[in-house]
Amino acid sequence: MEIVCPKCKQAHDVDDKTATCPECRGVLRRCVDCENYDVRVSFCRGFNRQVEAGEANYPTYSSDSTYCRQYSPGSPVT
């Protein structure tokens, strides 16, 4: 799957085990970029639970989204 790094804005073809950008080491999978996340109610349909806005926007290495198997990149906002 191809993910655009939210930090350096470079596109990378990654597998399920890749968590960070090879260029800047930023976390690639953010809830706010996923089709399964509803920003209006801060809810993840993949995990079927609330995800706080801070974690959704700025995940850490221990965040659920970092290695999420249900992650599905949404269409890029232009």
Q: What share of the chain is helix, strand, coil (3-state, %, to 5)?
A: 15, 20, 65
**pLDDT tier at 75 (50, 70, 90 boundaries)?**
low
Higher local confidence (pLDDT), 4 or 76: 4
Q: What is the pLDDT of residues 14-54, one digit of tens each?
A: 888 889 999 999 999 999 999 999 999 999 998 899 999 99
Q: Dihedral sign for Cα 14, 74, 38, 22, please.
A: positive
Q: pTM surpassing 0.85? A: no
**pLDDT tier at 78 (50, 70, 90 boundaries)?**
very low
The pLDDT of residue 17 is 86
